Amino acid sequence: MSTFIQGWLLGIAYVAPIGMQNMYLINTAIEKSRARALQVALIMIFFDITLALACFMGIGLVFEHVAILRVIVMGIGSIAVMYIGYSLIVAKPSMESNNDFEKPIMQIIVSCFVVTWLNPQAIIDGTLLLGGFRATLENANASLFIFGVAIASTMWFLSISTLVSKFKNVFNIKILKTINVLCGSILVFFGLKLGLSFIGTFL
């Protein structure tokens, strides 16, 4: 099996599990316009690939040597993620999505950054998964491997965005609200989990 294919397969396994990124993108694709969902997907891809690169190159080592940084990220991440989740839970869904571009692009960028980079568990898991493979590869093969991971991330988020946007017409307001609450609750759960980890560092 080629190094690129190995990277691609591992990339799919790394990004596919339903987590904060996928919940945020799915919710956006259901409630907003297809153009907005694609915009969010592209921003998410950028942050996901940069996180994968950082994990591949060993950001976990930074956490090991600068413990306070990990604590800070956990604290900020907990609050930010719970806020995003709460916002989804209380939001009033609408079937009208064509005017969604009134939302500032910086707000979208910050949200994508939060659900990707302010999740220490994702950084640790990524470091263990991608960093572990990096240790087994020579430099030439390492480039092909991480390129495969990047392609997997791109394909995954674009596919999710396109498919959910295409079939969102089967949803009504009640279903949209249920999905809002479900997605929001999962994000709040992730935030609480980070918060408990943050508190645990002081006990």
44-91 pLDDT, tens digit per residue, is 999 999 999 988 887 656 666 777 877 887 788 788 778 878 887 887
State residue 136's pLDDT score. Answer: 63
Rounded CA-CA distance 30/110 in Å is: 20
State residue 98's pLDDT score. Answer: 46
State residue 158's pLDDT score. Answer: 95
What's the pTM value of the predicted model, to 2 decimals?
Answer: 0.73
Q: Whats the size of the chain, residue-wise?
A: 203
Nearest residue to 151 (alpha-carbon basis) of 1, 3, 12, 57: 12
State residue 11's pLDDT score. Answer: 83
Look up residue 187 and give its amino acid: L
| 61 and 139 Cβ atoms separated by less than 8 Å | no
| 164 and 176 Cβ atoms separated by less than 8 Å | no
| 187 and 28 Cβ atoms separated by less than 8 Å | no
Those residues of the chain that have pLDDT short of 70 are 1, 17-18, 59-64, 93-103, 121, 125, 128, 132, 135-136, 171
| 151 and 8 Cβ atoms separated by less than 8 Å | yes
| 32 and 98 Cβ atoms separated by less than 8 Å | no
Helices (H), the chain: 3-15, 20-31, 34-57, 59-65, 67-90, 105-117, 120-126, 132-134, 139-166, 173-200
Taking the CA atoms of 15, 118, 72 and 180 in sequence, report the sign of the dihedral they define.
negative
Residue 37 makes CB contacts below 8 A (sequence gap 6+) with: 25, 28, 29, 161, 164, 165
